[in-house]
């Protein structure tokens, strides 16, 4: 009998960590929950091998914990290793600055990199008697779903998108699985029409420019930043990018095989302004009407600097394009027009909007994934309404569906 143990992402968005117990103990993802602060890490225990689905911190951010107790093989693709290492190192700097404890150090990060085994999409590798492979999930460059084929055929979607975007092709799915572990971020929400949302973003940016003002987009450095650049490609010469978005975009451009149209992305990247010095930063708002900067939830990064500088601008726009966790500074700003973190608090006078450009499948997309993979058992994770989503799945598909909490084990 195979057991699925939920160490993180049980009825929450964050710290994804799921163990499949067979002859070997295999962990899929090892993430951290950044918001609300302080960061929360999963309690891993001993594992024999790990597979990392993609580079976002809630899936890779606790990865160095895997090698604290000795060597184990850690499987992921090349772009995930490079982007993920960049994000882990940055998160350590941020934690140090904020005074938060990090349960690993730079030596552990080096060990984590050294123990990584690079695998390509559809390349088979073995962990004990499990035959494993990575499948494109359409979420960010390099993102993967994970197939674990043993006594049961288990498919872990990780973060998944069933619709194409400007940057990526949609996910690739198997025809039939026994157990589907499905992310449920938007399990209870149908997203707006993608074209309409892109048009809303363009209209907001054009309105800010018509008023000689600025549109600030706080973004996730990996995935969302590059998507937004492609939507705004006709205005590339008016865009300044700052923060980790610079390095992330340069890395993404080097791994063209993961992109829908690598040539188009590289062309856009040649035209945008990379803000590299404080001197350039001081004049960026005057010279560039579009600012794309990390971080996506305003938990830190250069986006906060620009927001502070433009707080009095009545015609300015602050345009969020990603998921905003409860209690994050970004969510609070949208709800109250007040930015607040540990150091400061101020009112933002411009127009604040949330544009739905999610890299996650919505309710319709998730239900379609279930229909296409025909599982006998569904395990809902990575969402704050997993219970309700699981009930709806049972009703619609007449299969067993679970919404486990962290620490729970399901026997399949």
Same domain assignment for residues 46 and 110? yes
**Average pLDDT score over residue span 328-353:** 96
Same domain assignment for residues 162 and 214? no
Same domain assignment for residues 29 and 100? yes
Domain boundary (314, 335, 354) is at 354
Same domain assignment for residues 311 and 348? yes
Same domain assignment for residues 281 and 392? no
Quote the Cα angle for 26-175-135, to 5°. 45
Distance from C-alpha of 77 to C-alpha of 141, rounded to nearest angstrom: 10
**Average pLDDT score over residue span 350-378:** 97
Which of the four pLDDT bands, split at 50, 70 and 90, describes residue 388?
Answer: very high
pLDDT at 107 over 90: yes
Domain count, the chain: 2
Distance from C-alpha of 334 to C-alpha of 361, rounded to nearest angstrom: 23
Which of the four pLDDT bands, split at 50, 70 and 90, describes residue 62?
Answer: very high
Going through 164-262 in order, the beta strands assigned E by DSSP cover 179-183, 215-218, 239-242
Which of the four pLDDT bands, split at 50, 70 and 90, describes residue 28?
Answer: very high
Structure tokens at 119: 């695998």
Structural domain of 309: 194-354
Same domain assignment for residues 182 and 92? yes
Same domain assignment for residues 346 and 297? yes
pLDDT at 34 over 90: no
Provide the CATH number for the domain around residue 7: 3.60.15.10
- Write down the pLDDT at residue 10: 98
pTM for this model (two decimals): 0.95
pLDDT at 199 over 90: yes
Provide the CATH number for the domain around residue 319: 3.40.50.10890
Average confidence score pLDDT of the chain: 96
pLDDT tens across 213-272, in order?
999 999 999 999 999 999 999 999 999 999 999 999 999 999 999 999 999 999 999 999
Domain boundary (354, 382, 402) is at 354
Same domain assignment for residues 286 and 235? yes
**Average pLDDT score over residue span 354-382:** 97
pLDDT at 277 over 90: yes
pLDDT at 279 over 90: yes
DSSP 257-316: GGSS-HHHHHHHHHHSEE--SHHHHHHHHHH-SEEEES-TTSSSSHHHHHHHHTTT-TT-
Domain boundary (332, 354, 376) is at 354
Same domain assignment for residues 305 and 367? no
Same domain assignment for residues 14 and 144? yes
Structure tokens at 32: 């951290």
Of 76, 16, 18, 73, which is closest to residue 48 (Cα–Cα)? 73
Which of the four pLDDT bands, split at 50, 70 and 90, describes residue 327?
Answer: confident
Same domain assignment for residues 339 and 371? no
**Average pLDDT score over residue span 27-44:** 93
Same domain assignment for residues 311 and 343? yes
Which of the four pLDDT bands, split at 50, 70 and 90, describes residue 1?
Answer: confident
């Amino acid at each position: 009998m195979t057991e699925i143990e939920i160490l993180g992402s049980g009825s929450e968005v964050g710290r994804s960590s799921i163990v499949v117990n067979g002859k070997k103990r295999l962990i899929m993802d090892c993430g951290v929950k950044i918001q609300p602060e302080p960061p929360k890490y999963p309690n891993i225990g001993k594992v024999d091998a790990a597979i990392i689905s993609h580079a976002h911190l809630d899936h890779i951010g606790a990865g160095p914990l895997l090698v604290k107790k000795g060597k184990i093989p850690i499987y992921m693709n090349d772009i995930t290793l490079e982007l993920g290492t960049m994000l882990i190192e940055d998160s350590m700097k941020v934690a140090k600055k904020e005074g938060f404890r990090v349960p690993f150090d730079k030596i552990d990060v080096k060990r984590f990199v050294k123990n990584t085994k690079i695998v390509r999409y559809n390349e088979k590798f073995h962990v004990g008697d499990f035959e494993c492979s990575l499948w494109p999930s359409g979420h960010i460059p390099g993102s993967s779903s994970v197939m674990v084929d043993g006594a049961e055929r288990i498919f872990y979607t990780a973060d998944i998108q069933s619709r194409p975007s400007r940057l990526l092709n949609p996910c690739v799915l198997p025809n039939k699985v026994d157990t589907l572990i499905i992310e449920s971020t938007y399990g209870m929400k149908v997203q707006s029409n993608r074209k309409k949302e892109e048009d809303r973003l363009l209209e907001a940016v054009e309105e800010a420019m018509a008023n000689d003002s600025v549109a600030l987009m706080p973004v996730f450095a990996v995935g969302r930043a590059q998507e937004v650049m492609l939507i705004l490609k006709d205005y590339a010469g008016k865009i300044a990018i700052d923060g980790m978005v610079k390095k992330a975009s340069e890395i993404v451009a080097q791994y063209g095989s993961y992109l829908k149209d690598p040539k188009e992305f590289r062309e856009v990247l040649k035209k945008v302004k990379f803000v590299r010095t404080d001197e350039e930063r001081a004049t960026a708002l005057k010279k560039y009407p579009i600012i794309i900067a990390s971080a996506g939830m305003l938990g830190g990064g250069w986006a906060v600097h620009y927001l502070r500088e433009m707080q009095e601008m009545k015609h300015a726009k602050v345009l969020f394009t990603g998921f905003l966790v409860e209690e994050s500074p970004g969510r609070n700003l949208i709800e109250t027009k007040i930015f607040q973190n540990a150091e400061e608090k101020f009112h933002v006078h411009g127009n604040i909007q949330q544009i739905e450009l999610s890299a996650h499948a919505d309710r319709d997309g998730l239900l379609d994934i279930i229909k296409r993979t025909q599982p006998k058992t569904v395990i809902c994770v990575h969402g704050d309404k997993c219970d309700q989503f699981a009930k709806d799945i049972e009703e619609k598909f007449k299969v067993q569906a679970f919404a486990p909490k962290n620490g729970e084990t399901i026997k399949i």
